[in-house]
């Protein structure tokens, strides 16, 4: 009576499981028998007794599996072995050795409500004025005391974020290091590296603001469950940032503990299971999932002519060819007709399947 997924990597463990209270407790106790995994941070989503009966009901595929309305699609727990829990792409980032300061959900509002908190000046939006913007940015950083960064991807931030938080506009977590380097001017330009002076004096170029006076801002960051912040904060510290804070337990822990009346959260939080999104108190949200691009869609999005269930949505319609859309329609028809992709036998001959089952049953000892 447990379903879900767990990721194991040299840097730690992360996962989400759904099950009866007794079954989940057994799994957690088993994991924590390993001394290296003691002290797990856990977030529990509430389930009513009525929903529990549905989530953990029997299914035709598995007598002990999760019900059809459970958050996860599988009737078992999948354990994946990976090099990284979340792919960052920088082997030098070691969250097990260096990480930012944790901020409890009850203290988060005070931190991000600091009057010196500002949004980052987006130079990338003004490429034709790049040189001018670089000067302005350097002056601007002198007065930038704190910035709040949402470490998640664009499609997650689109449906909800904290007030005054900066969206790095990343499509994947791998893009975050590049955004930081560019946004905070941590990578020297070609002109600086060559030592050429733009004013034509022939003297070594000098910044308008000496490097000694350059002050990196205090950073407060957050993500869904806190995992991405572990790596992001470690990366910022390695880049010279002195004060890096991140929300312990992520948005989910915040929504679990902070009442809506006191909350600074706006919108819903995207989650990577069949619930799609959650609200305050971790109640299921209103968003659905586009199975064409795996992005969340609202009721308003589904009114668009670009929305087609199982095929496309306003966010992926233009990126898909007609051939891709037709393949998606074929898969959707198979699922609607048979309940599985590929038909009732998933491409296998029923007779062959029955024959193999008969052979296996004869080979098994009677004691099993």
* Catalytic residue IDs: 223
Q: Do β-strands 265-267 and 160-162 pair in parallel, antiparallel, or remain unpaired?
A: antiparallel
Q: Specify whether the CB–CB gap between 40 and 114 falls below 8 A.
A: no
What size, in residues, is the chain? 368
Tokens at 21, concatenated: 């209270």
Q: Specify whether the CB–CB gap between 65 and 59 falls below 8 A.
A: yes
Nearest-angstrom CA–CA distance, 58 and 65: 6
Identify which of 134, 229, 222, 239 has the alpha carbon closest to the alpha carbon of residue 181. Answer: 239
> What end-to-end distance do the CA atoms of the chain give, in Å?
21
Secondary structure, 3-state, 23-58 = HHHHHHHHHHCCHHHCCCCCCCCCCCHHHHHHHCCC
Q: Specify whether the CB–CB gap between 205 and 197 falls below 8 A.
A: yes
Which H or E run contains 277? strand 277-278
Task: List phi, psi (to 5°) of 83.
Answer: -70, -35
Nearest-angstrom CA–CA distance, 2 and 79: 13
Q: Specify whether the CB–CB gap between 89 and 174 falls below 8 A.
A: yes
Nearest-angstrom CA–CA distance, 131 and 142: 18
The torsion defined by the Cα of 217, 239, 13 and 226, in degrees rounded to 10, comes to 10
Buried b (16+ CB within 10 A) or exposed e, 85-110: bbebeeeebebeeebbebbebeebbe
Tokens 């994947």 found at? 172
Nearest-angstrom CA–CA distance, 4 and 354: 29
Tokens at 46, concatenated: 């509430």
Judged by phi (left if over 0) then psi (alpha if -120 to 50, else beta), residue 281 lies in: left
């Amino acid at each position: 009576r447990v379903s879900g997924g767990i990721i194991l990597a040299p840097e730690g463990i992360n996962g989400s499981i759904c099950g009866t209270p007794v079954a989940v407790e057994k799994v957690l106790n088993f994991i924590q028998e390993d001394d290296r995994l003691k002290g797990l941070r856990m977030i529990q989503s509430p389930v009513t007794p009525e929903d529990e009966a549905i989530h953990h009901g029997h299914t035709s595929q598995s007598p002990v599996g999760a019900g059809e309305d459970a958050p996860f699609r599988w009737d078992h727990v999948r354990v994946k072995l990976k090099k990284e829990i979340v792919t960052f792409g920088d082997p030098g980032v070691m969250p097990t050795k260096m990480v930012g300061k944790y901020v409890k959900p009850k203290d988060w509002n005070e931190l991000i409500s600091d009057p010196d908190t500002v949004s980052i000046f987006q130079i990338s939006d003004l490429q034709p004025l790049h040189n001018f913007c670089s000067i302005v940015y350097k002056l601007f950083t002198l007065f930038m005391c704190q910035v709040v960064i949402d470490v998640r991807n664009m499609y997650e931030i689109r449906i909800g974020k904290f007030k005054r938080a900066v969206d790095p506009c990343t499509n994947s977590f791998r893009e975050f290091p590049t955004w930081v380097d560019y946004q905070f001017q941590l990578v020297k330009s070609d002109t600086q590296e060559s030592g050429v002076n733009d004013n034509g004096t022939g003297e070594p170029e000098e910044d308008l603001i000496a490097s000694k006076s350059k002050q990196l801002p205090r950073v407060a960051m957050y993500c869904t469950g806190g995992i991405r912040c572990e790596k992001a904060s470690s990366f910022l510290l390695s880049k010279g940032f002195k004060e890096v804070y991140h929300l312990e337990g992520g948005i989910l822990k915040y929504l679990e503990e902070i009442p809506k009346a006191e909350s600074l959260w706006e919108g819903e939080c995207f989650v990577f299971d069949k619930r799609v999104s959650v609200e305050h108190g971790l109640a299921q949200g209103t968003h659905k999932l586009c199975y064409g691009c795996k992005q969340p869609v609202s009721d308003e999005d589904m009114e668009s002519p670009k929305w087609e269930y199982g095929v496309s949505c306003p966010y992926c319609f233009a990126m898909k060819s007609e051939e891709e859309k037709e393949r998606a329609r074929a898969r959707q028809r198979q699922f609607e007709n048979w309940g599985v992709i590929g038909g009732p036998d998933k491409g296998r001959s029923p007779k062959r399947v029955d024959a193999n089952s008969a052979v296996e049953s004869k080979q098994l000892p009677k004691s099993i």
